[in-house]
Amino acid sequence: MLKTQREIFGENLQSLMNAKGVYPRIIAEEIGVSDAAVSQWLAGEKYPRIDKIQKLADYFKVPKSALIEERPGNLVPVNPATVKIPILGFISCGHPIYAEENFVGYKTESPDLLPSGNLFYLEAKGQSMEPTVPNGAYVLIREQPDVEYGEIAAVLVNGDTEATLKRVKKQGNVIMLMPDNPNYEPYIVTPDNPARILGKAIRFTQNL
């Protein structure tokens, strides 16, 4: 079923807001409209005037096409050959560190080399996933609520306030977040120590 222009705009706006970590009230204040107007745009109920679209594009530092054209997942276009993937802060590869999904920039990629779905990068901190994932690597995450046995995932712990990168293993009803470095202890998921999978680790890149 084809999406309406209002629906496309609403989805694109929501994606850009998620990447930047802002709420409807902030958008309303920045461009001079009511909270209700932003909510209607996000719901696909109304379409903004062209001057408001330009203000939004200026605020997010993207072309207007990033708001009005349908895009796969949450990728922001740069040119026909590349896309920009948001970097959403840090993720611990040791003891979990605070890792709010605060937008810190973009990495540019060729869309031909990317899987489908909503994608983002997190920067790995720590040694618990070495030698598989080195400290300082940028890990490409595909947003999904579960992974297969033995796959590496970005996992939210401590009431969704901290994020850690671990290999997910399941034995019966027991879920274990396993480090690849034997010098680190696994994290056992229990009702008192809950966890939520944020997405699957696809690959990593590292600056020399």
Asked if 88 contacts 163 with a C-beta cutoff of 8 angstroms, the reply is: no
Distance from C-alpha of 139 to C-alpha of 134, rounded to nearest angstrom: 10
Active-site residue among 15, 92, 125, 128? Answer: 128
Distances in Å between the Cα of 80 and the Cα atoms of 68, 76, 131 are: 16, 11, 35
Asked if 73 contacts 118 with a C-beta cutoff of 8 angstroms, the reply is: yes
Active-site residue among 15, 125, 166, 200? Answer: 166
Which residues have C-beta within 8 Å of that of residue 31, sequence separation ≥ 6? Answer: 52, 55, 56, 59
Based on the residue annotation, tell me whether 39 is a catalytic residue of this protein: no
Distance from C-alpha of 47 to C-alpha of 131, rounded to nearest angstrom: 50
**Alpha-carbon radius of gyration of the chain:** 19
Asked if 19 contacts 59 with a C-beta cutoff of 8 angstroms, the reply is: no
Which residue reads 């202890």 in tokens?
185
Query: Which structure tokens are listed for 60?
Result: 């997010």
Distance from C-alpha of 208 to C-alpha of 200, rounded to nearest angstrom: 24
Based on the residue annotation, tell me whether 166 is a catalytic residue of this protein: yes
**Which residues belong to the active site?**
128, 166
